[in-house]
Structure 1
Amino acid sequence: MEELSAAESDSADDTGGTGTVSVEETVPVEETVIATRALTKRYRGGQLAVDGLDLTVPAGSVFGFLGPNGSGKTTTIRMLMGLIEPTSGTARVLGQPMPRATRAVLPHVGALIEGPALYGFLSGRDNLIRYDSADPTADPRTRRTRVAASLDRVGLTAVAGKKAKAYSLGMKQRLGLAAALLQPRRLLVLDEPTNGLDPQGMREIRSLVRELASDGTTVFLSSHLLDEIEQVCTHAAVMAQGRLITQGPVADLAAGARGRLVVTTPDPADAARVLKEQGVADVVVAEERVTGEPPDRELAEVNAALVAAGVRVRGFGVERASLEDAFVALTGEGFDVAG
């Protein structure tokens, strides 16, 4: 993981020039927290990791950055945080150009990228103390209070004295998140924050994200889990093979896809046969539940055909489309949906 603090921003600000670039001391409040235009990253050998990305993240949103592993999400985040330079295009974070304005921007940003970087021989508490002491904006007089509050927020108080090398992957993820939350942040950037967590841990992290958003923090959350994005995010962008497929409010993205026709019946085999005859595609039978893509005809006629064929219909309707339905409609493929 690259954990970014105000202290580390000095090294991140080095873009290969011979002098220090002057940037504003304060970061203005912006309606758009992240904005990229034609952002592109091509690695040596010609690999195109991010291709012409135009991304807009509204202030106050929980923004899901969604795509299969290898779709360019982490590369994009590294460019946004000033860790690598784009091949072309621009990126602005909190209204400032990155990577040029890292010194002004990063003190307002908490980040957990590619897993936590920890000192295994130190305890969880001492790791956080070390992170906090590296931040020149942090008041040393309140350091231990700040660290204790951060540990409590992610549920690690009971194991704070345990060496980090003995932590499970999920515990390390929590500790990395605690480091990102040591100071109040205007923007929190999380790359696969539930990686390694059990279902209970996932629920706790989702609850924490909602709490942070309600306090006014914009959360930019990268994930390959559709279910995770749909549960916690207000807005989302979908990446595939380095390109932006779509972005917008989560509800609007799902609304753009057709829902599934659902028939509940004790006669699933007969129902499936009739639905296919009525033009329903992709018919799936799961016990007494039969689903399919609605046909381009009046659904009342489909229901009537089921009844006329002697199918005992106990339920009939169209389910609201999910984010998974929207992704499949846009790309013709799917990926992990487990939460």
Structure 2
Amino acid sequence: MTRASAKAGGRRPVVDEPVIETHALTKRYGRGRPAVDGLGLVVPRGSVFGFLGPNGSGKTTTIRMLMGLIEPTSGVARVLGEPMPRAGQRVLPRVGALIEGPALYGFLSGRDNLVRLDSADPAADPRTRAARVGEALDRVGLANAAAKKARAYSLGMKQRLGLAAALLQPRELLVLDEPTNGLDPQGMREIRTLVRDLAAGGTTVFLSSHLLDEIEQVCTHVAVMSRGRLLTQGTVAGLASSVRGRLSVTTPDTAEAVRVLKEHGVNDLVVTDDRVTGELPAGELADLNAALVRADVRVRAFGAQRASLEDAFVALTGEGFDVAG
């Protein structure tokens, strides 16, 4: 087993050890249905891991247990190879987090908020504080608003400032709970770019969201939660490929097209005006197109669309949730 170099006195991280791992992790409030029920999660090192589910599915409760903010009712959570919350003092200095929105001092400027937060970190070097604060503000696009009081910030600007706080020092793991909440489309694109850059630099990013499109664009791995339970986990590509895409044929000869497509193994056919759609078959699409032409089907358009993360979620649950935000 290969091992990464370690700082003096610190635990030696195992390269192929999961950054987050849980076994039967459960949180119950009162006698009702558990908020998190028997969660078994594995987050690979170096991944951008999307934690996906509708609001109320248990994502934030899980994150609060992982960060040691609340105790689990039962089960085990390990972060960076250490048990949580017992090893919180060793683990949390290696983790940056933005959970449930940032807690800010409204009477302080954005820059002074970061200075205050950095000053409270015993591991932070005061000699590099000003430079690190400036760099963090610049990375999240707040350099020009650094002197403005935080109470005058919009929701999106507050989200950016909270993310800047998580970036004040290099982290092995970055945990983000709905990081694009309140951001306009441009801000969302900027945060996605930042997440990709952090991952390219070796930081594992654990990204909780209820936005399928956001997860699909930026993440390498994904877990899907619903009503406190884990439905599936794996690579984004693997989850999407578990569901077949859709074939689309535009033609005035829809009846004949349906006949040919059925003969060539296309299922779940739907006719809408001059368009026939169906589940992608296993065979070569060029051969299917040729079969339509041989049958004198006038093909005006022929194409295929791969299955999306939304398609996979609907296949798993029979329902959808907020895709566009």
Q: CA deviation at 1:296?
A: 9.2
Task: Please give the alpha-carbon distance, in whole angstroms, between the structure 2 residues aligned to 1:183 and 1:42.
Answer: 34
> Quick one: structure 1 residues 237 and 294, their matched pair in 2 at CA, closer, same or farther if it must change by over 3 Å?
same
Gaps of 5+ in 1: 1-24
Provide the C-alpha distance between the structure 2 equivalents of 1:88 and 1:284, rounded to a whole number of angstroms.
51
- Tell me: CA distance 1:273–1:167, structure 2 relative to 1, closer, same or farther (3 Å): farther
Letter in 1 for 2:24: A
Other-structure match for 1:196: 182
SS state of the match for residue 138, structure 2?
Answer: helix
1:29 aligns with 2:13: yes
Query: Could you list the per-position Cα deviations for residues 305-329 of structure 1 after superposition, in whole angstroms to 9, with x for gaps in the alignment?
Result: 8658865313334322211111111
Deviates more, 1:107-116 or 1:136-145: 136-145
User: In the alignment, which residue of structure 2 is the partner of 1:7?
Assistant: none
CA RMSD of aligned residues (A): 2.5
Q: How many equivalent residue pairs?
A: 311
For 1:68-83, what aligned pairs fall within 5 Å after superposition?
Answer: 68-83=54-69
Query: Which residue in 1 is equivalent to 2:200?
Result: 214
Shift of 1:26: 2.7
**Separation of aligned partners in 2, 1:181 and 1:298:** 48
Change (3 A) 1:83 1:282: farther
**Normalised TM-score (structure 1):** 0.84
Q: Which of 298, 305, 308 pairs up with 1:322?
A: 308
User: Post-superposition shift, 1:247?
Assistant: 0.7
> Quick check: 1:281 aligned with 2:265?
no
Instruction: Report the identity percentage.
Output: 76
Q: What code does the residue aligned with 2:13 have?
A: V
Aligned 1:260-279 pairs, distance under 5 A: 260-263=246-249, 265=250, 267=252, 271=254, 274-275=257-258, 278=262
Amino acid in the other structure paired with 1:338: A
**Residue in 2 aligned with 1:140?**
126
Cα–Cα, structure 1 residues 155 and 299, in superposed 2: closer, same or farther, change >3 Å?
A: closer
State the partner residue of 1:3.
none
Q: TM-score, normalization: structure 2?
A: 0.88
Work out whether 1:53 is the aligned partner of 2:36.
Answer: no
CA distance in 1, matches of 2:96, 2:320: 31
Q: What 5-or-longer segments of structure 2 have no aligned partner?
A: 1-8
Q: Report whether the alignment pairs 1:152 with 2:138.
A: yes
Which residue identity does 2:155 align to in structure 1?
Answer: L
Cα separation, 2, equivalents of 1:300 and 1:39 = 49
Return the offset for 1:284: 6.8
Kept after mapping to 2: 8 A contact 1:120/1:164: yes
